[in-house]
Amino acid sequence: MTTATLPTRRDEAWRYADMDGLARLGVAALDQWQTVDVPAGTSVTRCLVVGSDAPELHRFRVTLGEGATAAFFVTNAGGDYTRVEVEVRLAKGAHFEFGGVTIGGANEQGGVTREFVTQVVHAEPEATSNQTVRAVHWAGATGNFLGEIKVARHAQKTDAAQDFKGLLLEAGASANAVPQLEIFADDVKCAHGATVGALDEAARFYMMARGLDPATAQRLLVQAFIGDAFVALEDEESRETLLDAALAALEGAKL
Amino acid sequence: MLEITNLHASVGDKPILKGLTLSVPAGEIHAIMGPNGAGKSTLSNVLGGKPGYEVTAGSVTFRGEDLLALDPHERAAKGLFLGFQYPVEIPGVSNVQFLREALNSQRKARGEEPLSGGEFLKLAKDKAGLLKMDMEMLKRQVNVGFSGGEKKRAEMVQMGILDPAFAVLDETDSGLDIDALRIVGAGINSIMRSPDKAVLLITHYQRLLDVVAPDKVSILAGGRIVETGGPELALRLEAEGYDSVMA
């Protein structure tokens, strides 16, 4: 079955999307799902840097077998509308880890929208999931995280967590966090949190008083802020790649 | 080294400093004492260039240059160190990374070569040892989870590493127990007691001055320096209080 028409903003999952950007991508992009099957007892780690000047849509459908682990880490620093979607189904005792950073300002047309959309289905008991998303934006740009967690009726002992923090470097930028929890089991732990704020001015002055120029002080603070998203990534080289891509996007940001 | 002339400064619309004049030559440790609300912290924040403090009149010359025309990081690179009354926590940034970047930013601004990781660690270890601070603490996040005393000690380690020509220390003694006070005082002496350096030491209490013998003591009250004398002035204040000394 192929998709015939583009979604609209009335679809909950597209509520904060850039519909013009999506139109430029075209309807065919919606059918391009990448399937990731992780057999029981095995694990998979995927790292992705999104950072071209064209609109991009990446859709993943992940199925985790019993006791399997999948970890996705993404730096979303696109120069145009960029959306990374991950749909995950967890079998018994499986674990899903997601770490994402959206970072950036405007392109020639104005503020760019960058977003993560996840749907994590705890279909069986004792599975765990942990999602950490950080958004750093300026120049009228927007960062979104739409995170849906579904816990099936018999999926007892589910442990699902979702954490979003937005850092807006100037007025006019925005961040949207939409946690959606649908829980039908009664013995579960589901946590979600979302905060949005500006750069810590006291910390910035403290750093400048020690001799750091404004750009370096900002880079260090942003690096510390987004670092949480990649803490769970053990491979240091991959972590550096994701961090470097994010910090490279920071060049030219409002100080 | 530092010349403050007729300095007026406001926070919001409220004038705090009202014609403050003070000169601190190289080689001098100058203590500033004064009652609460006299403008002591405002003075240190104005010297450091903290946003929100507006200088409405007067001048500050540091090593022959107009200090007030410089941004905070430029002041640091010229050799000014501001010791914070409340050192700021920076989650996610280690002391080692913070200080190495700070030192190398300063060196770059002065046209000097950056220190390598190894050179920096050696320097940090030396200075931490001086303040009896474990290197493990320097690997932790900046001031995060430090006790009040540890934060002040960490400030002095930072001062040792950055090696400024002039330090403005704002109530560095607050929150210190007697042992920590001795260590911090000895740190100030070993880092800053030098013919080509100077210190402005803002304090409420004689006890730090027992360790760091100041050359001069000034009383700041109502936004101005109302009296300057030798170390005996601090002793008189301690014995008689501000009211009788300033009367």
Q: Specify the DSSP class assigned to residue B104.
A: H
What distance in Å separates residue A196's CA from the closest CA in chain B?
16
Residue B85: what residue type?
Q
Our CA-based measurement puts residue B158 at a distance from the nearest CA of chain A, in whole angstroms, of 8
Residue A217 inside a domain? The answer is no
The Cα angle at residue A140 between residues A221 and A55, in degrees rounded to 5: 100
Q: CB-CB: which of A205, A217, A227 is closest to B51?
A: A205
A151: its two tokens: 């816990």
Q: Which two tokens stand for residue B200?
A: 């402005």
Q: Does residue B128 register a pLDDT over 70? A: yes
Domain boundaries, chain B: 2-246
Q: What is the pLDDT of residues B175-185, one digit of tens each?
A: 788 888 888 89
CA B77 – CA B219 distance, rounded (Å): 29
DSSP line for A179-214:
EEEEE--SS-EEEEEEEEE---HHHHHHHHHTT--H
Alpha-carbon span B184 to B176, nearest angstrom: 9
Give pLDDT, residue B241: 84
Residue at A243 is within a domain = no
Residue where the block lists tokens 């010229």: B78
Residue of A211, A223, A227 with shortest CB distance to B76: A211
What interface predicted TM-score (ipTM) does this complex get?
Answer: 0.94
Sequence-distant (6+) residues with CB within 8 A of B49 are A208, A209, B68, B70, B71, B72, B75
Tokens of B58: 């007067």
pLDDT of residue B184: 87
Contact (Cβ atoms closer than 8 angstroms) between residue B78 and residue B49: no
Question: Is any Cβ of chain A less than 8 angstroms from the Cβ of B71?
Answer: yes
pLDDT at A254: 78
Provide the pLDDT confidence category of residue A1 given band limits of 50, 70 and 90: low
Contact B92, A223 (CB under 8 A): yes
Identify the bridge partners of residue A46 per DSSP, sorted by sequence position.
A72
**Contact check, Cβ <8 Å, A224/B90:** yes
B231 membership: H or E segment, kind and range:
helix B231-240
What is the separation of C-alpha A211 from the centre of its chain, rounded to a whole number of angstroms?
34
**For residue A181, is it within any domain?**
yes
Domain assignment of residue A154, yes or no = yes
Q: Could you give the C-alpha distances from B77 to B65, B81, B146, in angstroms and in order?
A: 13, 9, 27
Are B77 and A211 an interchain contact pair (Cβ–Cβ within 8 Å)? yes
Task: For tokens 């803002």, name the residue.
Answer: B202
Interchain CB distance below 8 Å, A216 and B106: no
pLDDT tens digits for A54-100? 999 999 999 999 999 999 999 999 999 999 999 999 999 999 999 99
- Residue-wise pLDDT for A179-238, tens only, equals 999 999 999 999 999 999 999 999 999 999 999 999 999 999 999 999 999 999 999 999
Give CA–CA dist A158/A169, Å, rounded: 36
Tokens at residue A140, please?
A: 């009228």
Q: Identify all chain A residues contacting B89, using CB atoms and an 8 Å cutoff.
A: 203
Q: Name which of B50, B98, B106 is nearest A205 (Cβ-Cβ).
A: B50
Q: Where are the beta strands (DSSP E) in chain B?
A: 2-11, 14-24, 29-33, 53-62, 65-66, 80-83, 90-94, 141-142, 166-170, 198-202, 216-221, 224-229
Give residue for tokens 């004064």: B34
Measured between CA atoms, how close is B186 to chain A, in angstroms? 22
Strands B166-170 and B80-83: parallel
User: How far off is chain B from A223, nearest CA to CA, in Å?
Assistant: 8
Instruction: Note down the domain range covering A140.
Output: 12-199
Confidence of residue B41 (pLDDT cuts 50, 70, 90): very high
Q: Is residue A246 part of a domain?
A: no
| B92/A228 Cβ within 8 A | yes
Q: What is the total count of domains within chain A?
A: 1
User: B131 or A132, which is more confident?
Assistant: A132
The CATH-assigned architecture of domain B2-246 is 3-Layer(aba) Sandwich (3.40)
Q: Given A203, A208, A227, which is nearest B73 (Cβ)? A: A208
How close, in Å, is residue B237 to chain A by CA atoms?
A: 32
Chain B residues with CB inside 8 Å of A228's CB?
A: 92
